[in-house]
Amino acid sequence: MIVLDENILDGQRLLLEASRVAVKQIGVDYGRKGMTDGEIIVLLRGHRNLTFFTRDADFYQPHLRHARYCLVVMNVGQNEAASFVRRFLRHTNFNTQLKRMGNVVLLSHVALSFWNPRSQSETRQVWERS
C-alpha cells in the first residue's frame, strides 16, 4: 500500500489516483491529522508492506529502517510530489513491494540516496535517463 504524509498536497494525491496509483493519506483515510513522526512510525510498523512518502527530511535516518515498510523522503517541490512518486515506483531497484521493504530513501531531482536493510552505508544513484 502507498501512504502519503499529510504534508503532500491534496492535488498531488488526486493526480496519483487519476494515474491509477492506489494511495491513502495520513489524516484523510489513514491515521489522523496532526500525527507526530513517532506516531506515524508506530502506525507503519503495525501494518505490512507499506511505502510511505513524505516531504519531511526528519524521516531520512538509517535507524528508521524496518522490514515492514519503506520510507521515501522527497526533496522536491510541493507540486512535483506525484511525478516523483510515480518515477520512484518505476525505478528498477524499487519497482516491486519486495524490493522496497526495509529501505529508507531520499529522492531529489538529480539522484536518489538510500539506506537498505543489508548495508551499513548509504548508496547514491543518479536517476536513469528515460
List the beta bridge partners of residue 83: none
Give the pLDDT confidence of 74-87 residue by residue, as tens digits.
999 999 999 999 99
Domain enclosing residue 22, as ranges: 2-126
Q: Cβ of 53: how many Cβ atoms within 10 Å?
A: 28
Structural domain total, the chain: 1
pLDDT at 12: 97
Q: In what order do the strands lie in the sheet with 104-107?
A: 23-25, 2-4, 50-54, 69-74, 104-107, 111-115, 123-126
Q: What's the predicted TM-score (pTM) here?
A: 0.95
Residue 130 has pLDDT above 70, yes or no: no
